[in-house]
Amino acid sequence: MKKFLKIRLKKNKSKIICLTTYSKNIASIIDKHCDLVLVGDSLGSVLYNFSSTKKVTLDMMIEHSKSVRMGVKKSLMVVDMPHNTYRNPKEALKNAKKIISKTKCDAVKLEGGKKVFQTIKTLVKNKIPVMGHLGVLPQSAKNFKFKGKKITERKIILRDSKLLEEAGVFSMVLECIESSLAREITKTVNVPTIGIGASIHCDGQVLVTDDLIGLNKISARFIKRYLNIKKQINDAVLKFKKDVTQNKFPTKKHSY
């Protein structure tokens, strides 16, 4: 519970760092710098080229999470519950218990507000920590336009943020929410908000690591690429190819 307390205490004080990962190797690197590590169902598009996250299965999430767990020592590890695994409280409880028991993660994340209110309450009552998710909801979104421009939309999202807090989430992701609304939610709720395309006004930020390092092709306004890892991989492979074709590799040093 100390990890959760550390996250809560960062509210309005210092920024929370969160990145997604799907494997041990990346997890072991980002773990040193993150407060939260998220095994996101974004792996559907990033790794499997799915058109949406709806095709991601529970088994996929569990297997990738087991790999990530081996690389996470410090951060709080959160796993996305995939589409159609929490349609009602009973189903959610069964699947959340399965995720936690098989992956040893610290918490699960659910998308939605009022619709999942009772489900989240049930999970929290059964001592399963939950991270919420509002704004653009990839598991159900018909389009990926930012949310909160219309007054009616703003009121619903603000209401849902209060409901998530009431239900017992320890934090919530705000995805592609209009800046002033993100600021209002962050000031209104007592739990930390983690933004992605939701301005600097949130208590923390999350990005898909593959986007951050330039490994993924996706183009979105909220993405900032800090590295062109594709070029570095390409350069390394070309050097390997050159060494092999010119009989420079393997040398005696690399042979038995």
Q: What is the pLDDT of residue 26?
A: 98
Residue tagged active-site, from 63, 165, 166, 175: 175
Directed axis angle between helix 151-167 and helix 117-125, to 10°? 20
pLDDT for residue 218? 78
- How many other C-beta atoms are found inside a 10 Å radius of the C-beta of residue 45? 20
Q: Provide the pLDDT confidence category of residue 142 given band limits of 50, 70 and 90.
A: confident
Active site (annotated) includes residue 178: no
Among 156, 153, 82, smallest CA distance to 115 is for 156
User: In which band, very low, low, confident or very high, does the pLDDT at 143 lie, cut at 50, 70 and 90?
Assistant: confident
Residue of 77, 5, 86 lying closest to 36 (CA atoms): 77
The residue type of 193 is T
- 39 and 20 Cβ atoms separated by less than 8 Å: yes
Locate CATH 3.20.20.60 in the chain.
2-225
- 201: pLDDT strictly greater than 90: yes
DSSP 199: -
Can you give the pLDDT at residue 219?
78
How do residues 63-118 score in pLDDT, each as one tens digit? 999 999 999 999 999 999 999 999 999 999 999 999 999 999 999 999 999 999 99
pLDDT value for 3? 86
Structural class in CATH, domain 2-225: alpha beta
Q: What percent of the chain has pLDDT over 90?
A: 95
Largest CA distance in the chain: 71
Sign of CA dihedral 90, 98, 20, 43: negative
Which helix (H) or strand (E) element contains residue 113? Answer: none
The percentage of residues in the chain with a pLDDT greater than 70, rounded to a whole number, is 100
Q: For strand 76-80 and strand 107-109, is the pairing parallel, antiparallel, or unpaired?
A: parallel
The per-residue pLDDT for 27 is: 98
